[in-house]
Amino acid sequence: MARGARHMAGLALAVATGSAAGCSPLPGASAPGRTPAYLGAETVALKDGLVEVALRMRAPDGVGGLDEYGRCAVARHALDNGYGFARHLRTTLGREGGGVWTADAVYMMTRTFPRGVSRVDARQEIRDCATRGIPTV
């Protein structure tokens, strides 16, 4: 994923819940009738149980669409690496040309259900992603 993406000032987000995130519009994002395109997500283990998720998406359904894609990617990473859960720490959004949005998120991996507001139960999230047609990495 290109690290040179222009990050939008003021659009660092701390998502409290997936449903609340879906209410936040993105300027120039998904127009009615446009299908979101998942252009790739990459997970990188940092240190101390932290994981970075970098993703690209065209026509997301607002901030919630980017958040859901990130949650699907981190859920797969958690299960593949022996964790059952993750806690969202931060997300920074950016925009490339051609209507492509980027998100760079950091999650903390845990084996037990974490404290905090924005938590991911990896097994449940994988099922939800399959139902919604969102790819996992």
**SS3 letters across 20-59:** HHCCCCCCCCCCCCCCCEEEEEEEEECCCCEEEEEEEEEC
How many Å apart are CA 85 and CA 25, to the nearest integer?
28
Identity of residue 98 = G
Q: Can you give the pLDDT at residue 53?
A: 99
Q: Can you give the pLDDT at residue 31?
A: 58
Ramachandran angles phi, psi of 130, nearest 5°: -60, -40
- Mean pLDDT by runs of 10 across the 137 residues of the chain is 33 33 56 85 97 98 96 98 98 95 98 93 98 95
Q: Can you give the pLDDT at residue 23?
A: 46
Q: Can you give the pLDDT at residue 32?
A: 64
